Chain A
Amino acid sequence: MNIADKKRLLREMLYARRFEERCYEAYVERKIGGFLHLYPGQEACCFGVMEAARPGHDYVITGYRDHVHAIKCGADPKEVMAELYGKETGSSKGRGGSMHIFDVKHRFMGGYALVGGPFPLAAGIAKGIKLKGGDEIAICFLGDAANNQGTFHESLNMAAVWKLPVLYICENNLYGIGTRIDRSTAETDQHKRVSGYDIPSACADGQDLDAVFKAAKKAVDHVRSGKGPYFLELKTYRYRGHSMSDSNAYRSKDEEKEWGDRDPINHVRDEIINAGKLTMEEYKAMDKEIIDQIENEVIKFAEESPEPVVADLEKYVLAENDPWVQGGAK
């Protein structure tokens, strides 16, 4: 990855960080309801992998920590924020919320809130790609704790038996809600868990954008070339609790500091500064510009957008005017 690409990704990652932090504020102000799972700390995972893939072309599916993945695939941040505000202009028209961002035109196939639910859905999308004969791949981003669901094993098995073009990304942030991985999981190195399914796997430092990109490039190339599924584990850390209702009391301050010192955004920023392609002043100016942009465009759009109307409550339950419901066109 060259410095220009890193600089572009630095901006995108910083945008994602500020977007999520602004969600936190809006949640505290009660502008956002429900559950809210934030991404700060894990940015290099999404951006490093998607840099190796083709956003908007490859299909992406994930769990409930989904805002940043949607935006990286091409979703308009204004629509994502409007969704969090429950507005009609939201990406899911206010019907989905934080955990169910969708942007199908950019092939972001959604955030799902049952832990492990997307594993077979991703394999199914891959099966569809294979049937249709496209060169896309399906990419499934989930956390480490999802690997303790039966769907993990069932899906890996089917993906391997049928050589499906699916890439499973495990963002191992070391906690399943509030339970540390070694207290819930016999094998804490997640990439080792797929060996029984004859699927190639690897592990990379999820705080290092370049390391993620390199590992993901290999993984994406493998899957796109028709060799079947691949599993990539990225060791990472989330700075905030599992969701906003999480006090974070189960982690030590020392541990948080240790991971905070390895911040993925600072890491790439310093690399670019050391290469003489960015100054701290320029970085700070970019940061301010991003914060202003989020405030003046994204938040403004969400604030000013209309609510859905109750008269439309039953819309989207079933297909509208589907002729086959009546046995076909008469």
Chain B
Amino acid sequence: MAELMYWEAIRRAHDEEMTNDPLVIAMGEDIGVAGGTYKATQGLYDKYGPERVIDTPISENGFTGLGIGASFIGVRPVIEIMSVNFAWLAMDQIFNSAAKVRYMSGGQLESPVVIRSPGGTAHQLGAQHSARMEKVFMGIAGLRVVTPSTPKQAYGLLKSAIRCNDPVFINEHELMYNMKGEVPDEEFFLPLEGSEVVRQGKDVTLFGYNISVHWCKQAADVLAKQGIDCEVIDLYSLSPLDREGIKTSVSKTHRAVIVEEAEAPVGVGSEVMAIINEECFFELDAAPVRVSAVNVPIPYNHTLEKAVIPTAKDVVDAVLKMFGKA
């Protein structure tokens, strides 16, 4: 089994799928000749040419709509939006065209398009390059949303997303492209629905997704030394959320902490809490808790920026407080 970086895993999935199907294309800003801002399409321009690896103008709504239109007649575009902040400009086409076309055509048309984009707060990129927008995408009927936390997931989810006939939004992370992880050498596909138990535990469930899964794992290691046995669940599918998986784990541990890089209002944490309420309220031994970002535009100043985003220590503190130990 090879150890790949997150970007290498994405690149490998692109490459295999483009070899497998001549109608799979890649498009986005700087993805071709320049090889991609995050190298996720490196080398593909030379291998597949400009008709299939397309450097787009900086017209997010336009080129996203163009990819969606191509998908109407069977093309499978993988569209990279350089930063999720720029996806605001493409919302009209993503929401109004890709997500709704199957329904409003009575099942006649579908849009098998993949839109990949990194969200998250990186290093002092300021308010307009640091958004965490998964909450916006996950509330839209007709659109699937997945968010890989490891190179293995980045590869396997993209493979399935390209072949799936629904539009899929893949929420990546600016800080994770150089993360290393094991990816099996043989081809594989991961389900686009569900969740993954990344650590078994009996005392409390820590729910994370994308980068926050790693904070949960670090917190679980710390808490284990203090006698608290955490279960860690990776919610790699944000739409639909895995109601069964959430219910099963909370029914076992009876406690839940939801950890999100985004600000709390109308987010993954509030949605998971609602599911816990609906599915297993009477299993709870304590009120569920959210660990979220402070609700401000991301400041430039390094100290202020750090103060916005939760850390593994914040997760530890929240759990200790829940157990009356803080």
Contact = CB atoms under 8 A, between A and B. Distances in A.
A209 to B, nearest CB: 29
B107 interface: yes
Contacts of A103: 108
A217 B216 CA distance: 64
Nearest to B161: A324
B16 interface: no
B51 interface: yes
B189 A125 contact: no
A325 B191 contact: yes
B126 to A, nearest CB: 24
A131 B26 CA distance: 13
Contact of B109 (A104, A131, A132, A317): A104
Interface in A106-136: 109-110, 112-114, 117, 119-132
Contact of B61 (A127, A129, A151, A315): A151
Given A120-B62, A151-B62, A158-B56, A102 B106 contact: yes
A77 B56 CA distance: 40
Nearest to A308: B106
Interface string B284-321: 00000000000000000000000000000000000000
Contact of A128 (B75, B141, B142): B75
Contacts of B108: 92, 102-105
B90 to A, nearest CB: 10
Contacts of A117: 65, 92-93, 96-97
Which residue, of B54, B59, B108, B163, has the highest number of chain A Cβ atoms within 10 A?
A: B108
A121 B105 contact: no
Size band of the B side of the interface?
A: 35 or more
Nearest to B194: A326
B272 interface: no
B69 interface: yes
A124 B72 CA distance: 8
B101 A124 contact: no
B63 interface: yes
A92 B75 CA distance: 22
A121 B72 contact: yes
Given A96-B105, A317-B142, A124 B191 contact: no
A184 B302 CA distance: 46
B224 interface: no
A128 B109 contact: no
Interface in A279-304: none
B62 A150 contact: yes
Q: Which of A90, A95, A161 has the most CB of B within 10 A?
A: A95
B283 to A, nearest CB: 27
Given A324-B189, A325-B160, A120 B66 contact: yes
Nearest to B162: A324
Interface in B50-106: 51-52, 54, 56-57, 59, 61-75, 92-93, 96-97, 101-106
A270 interface: no
Nearest to B25: A131
Nearest to B240: A318
Given A95-B104, A132-B73, A114 B66 contact: no
Interface in B158-200: 160-161, 163-166, 188-193
Interface string A142-163: 0000000011001101100110
A45 to B, nearest CB: 22
A325 B162 CA distance: 11
B254 to A, nearest CB: 30
A264 B102 CA distance: 36
B61 A96 contact: no
B192 A325 contact: yes
B144 interface: yes
A236 interface: no
A124 B141 CA distance: 23
A305 B47 CA distance: 54
B261 interface: no
B107 A93 contact: yes
Given A317-B102, A328-B189, A322 B165 contact: yes
A322 B164 contact: yes
Interface in B84-138: 92-93, 96-97, 101-110
A326 B188 CA distance: 12
Interface-centre pick from A90, A119, A127 (highest chain B CB count, 10 A): A127
Given A120-B65, A121-B72, A131-B25, 11 more contacts: A61-B69, A102-B108, A120-B68, A128-B69, A131-B52, A132-B23, A155-B62, A317-B102, A317-B141, A319-B110, A326-B193
Interface of B: 22-23, 25, 51-52, 54, 56-57, 59, 61-75, 92-93, 96-97, 101-110, 141-142, 144, 156, 160-161, 163-166, 188-193
5 contacts: A102-B104, A119-B62, A121-B93, A154-B61, A158-B62
